[in-house]
């Protein structure tokens, strides 16, 4: 009996001890000193922890278009120091992970002609091609209809004449360049029109994170889902032409990330059927009706989207998605090689010269050619949101990765002016600092278990600030080359720190991460303070980079008096209207050429020659403005120095072109053309409708 009493007493003591300890325990283990509440450091502005990057989410921006810091649950604000944000206390050693960059096997970039710097060849060729594109644009409706048939082997869609008049009234510059629309809609020609309409209804009938719009009798009669500004923007974009659209249901993706990726075997069959059966049938009609079918079968006219009891969309945010993303790639592509150690990036398809300057912007963003993206790009590592379907569904998205089948359209984000540009806060070129500038957040993916080391923004910031060797190109001296021999530029290793003052690229906030990963990134990166739009416009060279999806800053930067450097995998509607090396500077995936590109356009100077150096003032603004005469100083000098003058010329060219082709009028014209094309694809009588001229 005494033993039993003793046992009961021990059990009671144990239970009391557990109850006493429970409130003092943390679900993440022992509480670090950093997590203790403090009153000293000034806290950053709070926004919902689920908010993505500023690019495509209203809650993550202010009116300047610069990213707001996102406060993470359970993670305090770091202490404030002059020009740098650092953690209140260093995290445990186990949380500090050394940053390493994996080396990937690649094919050799294509050679470039000798003589001038490789960038000069790329600029010259890009300008020649673009001028040819502008010169060949159709001037009359008949010319445009003939060019349409020549390109696509189809008659133009119904109301093409109405679209032409609309586009001409808006002063559109490129009347024939709409290949992107044809490309994204081609697979849908492989499905029956009724199937496409049914899938739109199915997608909108369940909670699939979509916004639905019903077009009935020439009006947008019902809209459901999405935020208020998103709804108003989409309807506003359609207002000028909705009367010419057929009755249809439109499903708009409200997430940053794309939604539709079809297995290669299915996609191949769809495209084959489209090109060999459906499209030829539409091109053989002897008499075309310039209008759409009235009241297509299956559409609801009761002012709502009928509920469905199942969904084919699968949702798994914060999980790796490379395997899903590559399934539409050809089995013969590098991304589909079965053995990971045999995979390679096919640089030959998009890069040129010893350093791999971008020569083909489309191929560079083709993920099927670059399996290294599986471990170097945030979306593939752990997207912040992800809901995917593997059958071909008509989902309209603002941007997409090359392997996805979403229908891209001009983003309402741009139309609504979410990141406006103001000429009043943009100084003239000669008053700007001569260095590359960027501030932003660690968006692009969600970081867990050290995943930030595999995400593109972190990799770019780390590489541009690494204390390692970089490669630049040096021209031969006159005494080192034979008479009559074409000179070549020699890759030369130099300490990256020698050019430190040419680059001011830093994070201003850490977010989209588990608490441990957030602390590790604060310990690794030297954070800068929150920046405003006018801070970026104080620099001649500004960087634009993908976040969770497309970057919403791009248009504002292009309209500025600064030169834009673009790093992007996500594709947008303007692919044919904006040209690399003509309107902006493209940056490759691997980054071997990044420093040389900046060095070229800043005039070939070594870092530190303009001030700043090791004793930079707050935000690196101790640097004096660079002289406009750029030849002869620093490594290279001579002809290379001309790149400084070309930088100003390209910045002006991009600014002037953006004012002509990135207006709301241009977005509406492109959207009008897209919805006419889509309206034909989903019409049961699509073989007999179109514009005959």
pLDDT value, residue 104: 80
Across residues 312-338, what is the average pLDDT? 97
pLDDT value, residue 636: 38
3-state secondary structure of 133: helix
pLDDT band for position 8 (50/70/90)?
low
Lowest mean pLDDT segment, chosen from 136-140, 596-600, 606-610, 653-657: 606-610
| 169, burial (CB in 10 Å: exposed 0-12, middle 13-18, buried 19+) | exposed
Across residues 363-384, what is the average pLDDT? 97
CA separation (Å) from 242 to 221, 248, 676? 11, 11, 10
662-679 confidence digits (pLDDT tens): 999 999 999 999 999 999
3-state secondary structure of 160: helix
User: Which pTM value belongs to this model?
Assistant: 0.83
DSSP per residue, 477-518: PGGGS-TTPPP-PEEEEEEGGGGGGGEEEEEEE--SB-HHHH
68-110 confidence digits (pLDDT tens): 433 333 333 333 333 333 333 333 443 333 444 456 899 999 9
Question: What percent of the chain clears pLDDT 70, i.e. is strictly above it?
Answer: 78
> For the chain, how big is the Rg over CA atoms in Å?
28
Q: How many residues does the chain have?
A: 693
CA dihedral over 59, 60, 66, 72, signed as positive or negative: positive
pLDDT band for position 380 (50/70/90)?
very high
pLDDT value, residue 606: 64
pLDDT value, residue 488: 85
448-504 confidence digits (pLDDT tens): 999 999 999 999 999 999 999 999 999 877 655 555 566 789 999 999 999 999 999
């Amino acid at each position: 009996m005494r033993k039993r009493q003793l046992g009961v007493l021990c059990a009671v003591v144990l239970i009391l001890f557990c109850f006493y300890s429970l409130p003092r325990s943390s679900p993440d283990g022992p509480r670090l000193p950093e997590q203790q509440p403090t009153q000293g450091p000034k806290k950053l502005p709070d926004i919902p922890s689920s908010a993505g990057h500023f690019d495509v989410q209203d809650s993550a921006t202010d009116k300047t278009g610069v990213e707001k810091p996102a406060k993470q649950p359970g993670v305090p604000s770091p202490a404030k120091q002059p020009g740098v944000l650092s953690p209140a206390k260093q995290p445990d050693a186990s949380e500090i992970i050394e940053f390493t960059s994996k080396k990937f096997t690649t094919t050799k970039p294509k050679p470039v002609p000798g003589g001038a710097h490789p960038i000069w060849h790329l600029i010259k060729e890009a300008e020649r091609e673009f001028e040819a594109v502008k010169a060949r644009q159709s001037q009359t409706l008949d010319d445009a209809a003939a060019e349409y048939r020549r390109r696509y082997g189809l008659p133009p869609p119904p109301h093409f004449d109405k679209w032409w008049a609309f586009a001409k009234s808006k002063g559109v510059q490129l009347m024939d360049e709409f290949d992107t629309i044809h490309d994204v809609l081609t697979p849908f020609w492989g499905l029956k029109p009724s199937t496409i309409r049914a899938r739109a209804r199915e997608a909108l009938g369940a909670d699939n994170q979509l916004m639905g719009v019903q077009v009935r009798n020439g009006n947008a009669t019902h809209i459901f889902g999405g935020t208020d500004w998103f709804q108003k923007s989409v309807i506003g974009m359609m207002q000028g032409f909705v009367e010419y659209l057929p009755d249809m249901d439109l499903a708009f993706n409200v997430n940053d990330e794309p939604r539709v990726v079809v297995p290669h075997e299915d996609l191949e069959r769809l495209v084959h059927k489209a090109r060999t059966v459906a499209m030829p049938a539409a091109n053989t009609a002897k008499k075309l009706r310039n209008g759409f079918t009235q009241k297509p079968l299956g559409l609801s006219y009761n002012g709502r989207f009928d509920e469905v009891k199942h969904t084919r969309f699968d949702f798994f945010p914060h999980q790796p998605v490379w395997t899903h993303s590559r399934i539409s790639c050809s089995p013969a592509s590098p991304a589909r090689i079965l053995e990971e150690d045999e995979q390679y990036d096919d640089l030959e398809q998009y890069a040129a010269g010893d350093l791999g300057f971008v020569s083909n912007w489309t191929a560079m963003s083709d993920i099927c050619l670059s399996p290294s993206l599986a471990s170097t790009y945030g979306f593939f590592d752990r997207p912040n949101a992800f809901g995917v379907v593997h059958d071909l569904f008509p989902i309209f998205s603002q941007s997409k990765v090359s392997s996805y089948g979403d229908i891209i359209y001009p983003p309402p984000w741009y139309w609504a002016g979410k990141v406006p540009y103001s000429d009043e806060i943009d100084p003239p070129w000669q008053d700007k600092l001569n260095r590359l500038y960027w501030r932003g957040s660690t968006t692009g993916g969600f970081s867990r278990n050290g995943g930030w080391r595999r995400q593109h923004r972190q990799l770019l910031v780390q590489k541009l600030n690494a204390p390692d060797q970089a490669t630049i190109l040096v021209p031969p001296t006159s005494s080192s080359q034979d008479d009559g021999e074409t000179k070549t530029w020699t890759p030369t290793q130099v300490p990256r720190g020698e050019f430190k003052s040419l680059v001011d690229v830093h994070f201003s906030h850490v977010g989209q991460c588990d608490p441990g990963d957030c602390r590790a990134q604060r310990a690794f990166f030297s954070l800068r303070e929150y920046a405003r739009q006018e801070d970026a416009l104080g620099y001649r060279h500004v960087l634009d980079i993908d976040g969770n999806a497309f970057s919403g800053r791009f248009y504002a930067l292009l309209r500025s008096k600064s030169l834009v450097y673009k790093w992007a995998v996500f594709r947008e509607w303007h692919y044919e209207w904006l040209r690399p090396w003509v309107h902006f500077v493209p940056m490759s995936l691997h980054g071997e050429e990044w420093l040389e590109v900046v060095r070229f356009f800043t005039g070939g100077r070594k870092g530190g020659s303009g001030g700043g150096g090791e004793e930079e003032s707050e935000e690196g603004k101790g640097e004096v403005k660079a002289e406009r005469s750029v030849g002869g100083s620093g490594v290279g000098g001579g002809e290379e120095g001309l790149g400084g003058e070309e930088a100003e010329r390209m910045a002006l060219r991009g600014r002037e072109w953006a004012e002509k082709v990135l207006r709301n009028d241009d977005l509406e014209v492109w959207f009008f053309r897209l919805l006419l094309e889509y309206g034909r694809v989903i019409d049961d009588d699509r073989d007999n409708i179109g514009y005959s001229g």
